[in-house]
Amino acid sequence: MVVDPARVPGHVAIIMDGNGRWANQRGLKRNAGHEAGEQALFSTVEGADALGVRDLTVYAFSTENWKRPVEEVRFLLGFNESLLRRRADELHDRNVRVRFIGRRDRRVPARLVRLIEQTEGLTRDNDGLTLRIAFNYGAQAELVDAAQRLVDDARAGRLEQVDESAVAARLYDPEMPAVDLLVRTSGEQRISNYLLWQAAYAEMVFVDTLWPDFNGDELARCIELYQQRHRRFGTAMDTPMDRREPPPGDGDATT
Ligand code: FPP
């Protein structure tokens, strides 16, 4: 089986799971697993780009990850910062546009927020792969924040009606397209508060590989599995693909 270049998912989202277990299996500290995850991430970015994926969104730190031991939280914050510092130019040279989705609240160190904004600014006009890093991200928090914006806009007279596009326009990145393929590594089969709105019609692929062992070839295998699926978007099974209505907002810049 090979990837059909005509049916590559436009938007792939990944839950990079299993760093801790990878490290434990080797008698290492959990943080060594996160460090090893960097290489997996860059191989996956390279693979996604080569296959023609347009958008790749990875879950780097969730709103629930603050509950981890303080040393691990501190490590993850510092690691994200050092990764950006070390790799921003390389991503820029690869024509990757980097964006962050998540709450930029007071728990995120100001230095990291500045670096995030610099990286977004540096790569803003790139027209290759868009790499979104979900950081201090939770889908429920994103929907709460969108609801708050709806209320604020309604009070200010800036809201005509509440519908799907009104909500989509108030998500962290309104330009983010719907997720086509959602991959989770490490054998867990959960969504874990990730992209609940955007992944409404995503195909799910769960692989046993622990994140540090994932790479561009593994991504290609996930895409092969995706290409065996029949996406129906809520339609009847006997509706031919080419006569199906897209889901509300699909392919629209606001979902
Ligand atoms: C989940 O594994 C992974 C994380 C919470 C962090 C993800 C971070 C990276 C992959 C590092 C590189 C990427 C960026 C963008 C900094 P886990 O710790 O939950 O593993 P476990 O389930 O085996 O304990």
**pLDDT tens figures, 71-84:** 999 999 999 999 99
pLDDT digits (tens, 9 = 90+) for 143-152: 999 999 999 9
Question: Could you tell me if 249 and 168 are in contact, meaning their C-beta atoms sit under 8 angstroms apart?
Answer: yes
Q: Which residues make Cβ contacts (< 8 Å) with residue 236, sequence separation at least 6?
A: none
How many CB atoms are located within 10 Å of the residue 79 CB?
17
Q: Where do the domains of the chain lie, and which CATH numbers do they carry?
A: 5-226 (3.40.1180.10)
| Cα distances (angstroms) measured from residue 12 to each of 44, 52, 162, 184, 210 | 11, 11, 28, 11, 18
Known active-site residue 65: yes
Residue in 30, 34, 45 to alter for ligand 1 test, most ligand atoms within 8 A of Cβ: 34
Q: Which residues line ligand 1 (CB under 6 A)?
A: 16-21, 34, 37-38, 41, 58, 60, 65, 79-80, 83, 133, 186, 211
Closest CA to 60 of 30, 89, 80: 80
pLDDT digits (tens, 9 = 90+) for 89-105: 999 999 999 999 999 99
Closest CA to 195 of 149, 247, 133: 133
